[in-house]
Amino acid sequence: MKRQPIPIEEFVTKPYDLWHVQNLVLTSGDFAKGHFNAMTVGWGSLGVMWSVPFAQVVVRPTRYTYGFTEQYDTFTLCAFPKKYAPAVQLLGTKSGRDGNKIAEAKLTPLASTQIAAPSFAEAELVIECRKMYWDDLNPAQFLDPRIERRYPNKDYHRIYFGEIVAVLGRAHHRA
Ligand SMILES: Cc1cc2nc3c(=O)[nH]c(=O)nc-3n(C[C@H](O)[C@H](O)[C@H](O)COP(=O)(O)O)c2cc1C
C-alpha cells in the first residue's frame, strides 16, 4: 500500500478507535537479520514525553514478542485496512513461538524507513519508534479493582515508551 511520510505535527488519528477498534500490530526485531516477531496490541497510547512524540505499548512477559522488545531497540506500530482484520486477529491469538504466523496471515514484512524493526506492505499506517524508557506495572499501585482482574496469572505488563521517529500513512492520516 502506498504510504506518505507524515510530519508529526500533521498526524491525525482517532486514538481510541486506532487502539481499541482497529488495533495495531507491534513488530520488534531486525528486518535485515530476519529476526523479528509481531503481535496485535490494543492497549497503549500516543503523546508527548520529555518534549518528544512517543508511543506507549504494554507487553506481557509471557508473549514471544517480549523477548524481541527486550533485545531490540526499535519497534513499529502498524494499522491495517478493515479487510486485514482476520490477519490482525491471527497475530493476536497465535504465538510466533509455535510457527510462522506472519506467513499464515499472508502479511509481507518490509524494511522500515528509519529503524531496523520491520513494517508491513499491507499497512495503511506505520509508526516507527525507538525505545527510550521501560517500566513494569506495579500491582501495589492499582487504584481500581478492575485492573487486577486483568491479571489472573500475575503476568503484569512491561511498559515501553518509544520515541516516534517516523509516521507513514494515507491522506486521511494527514491534517
Ligand atoms: C485485539 C487484541 C489486543 C491485544 N493487545 C495486547 C496488548 O496490548 N499487550 C499484550 O501483551 N498482548 C496483547 N494481545 C495479546 C497478544 O497479541 C497475543 O497473546 C499474541 O498471540 C502474542 O503473540 P506472540 O506470542 O507471538 O508474541 C492482544 C490480542 C488481541 C487479539
**pLDDT tens track for 101-120:** 999 999 999 999 999 999 99
- Say if CB 10 and CB 175 are below 8 A apart: yes
Give the largest Cα separation in the chain, rounded. 46
Kindly report the average pLDDT of the chain as a whole number.
98
Mutate to test the pocket of ligand 1, among 16, 19, 40 (most ligand atoms within 8 A of CB): 40
Cell of 87: 490477519
- Integer Cα distance of 66 and 56 in angstroms: 14
* C-beta of residue 80 within 8 angstroms of C-beta of residue 25: yes
- Write out pLDDT tens, residues 4-31: 999 999 999 999 999 999 999 999 999 9
The hierarchical CATH code for the domain 4-173 is 2.30.110.10
Ligand 1 center from residue 38 Cα (angstroms): 9
Please list the ranges in the chain whose pLDDT falls under 70. none
Between CA 69 and CA 88 the distance in angstroms is 19
For the whole model, what pTM was predicted?
A: 0.98
Number of continuous H segments (helices) and E segments (strands) in the chain: 5, 10
pLDDT score of 108: 98
Distance 89 CA to ligand 1 centre (A): 9
Domain locations in the chain?
A: 4-173
Ligand 1 mean position to 34 CA, how many Å? 21
pLDDT of residue 166: 98
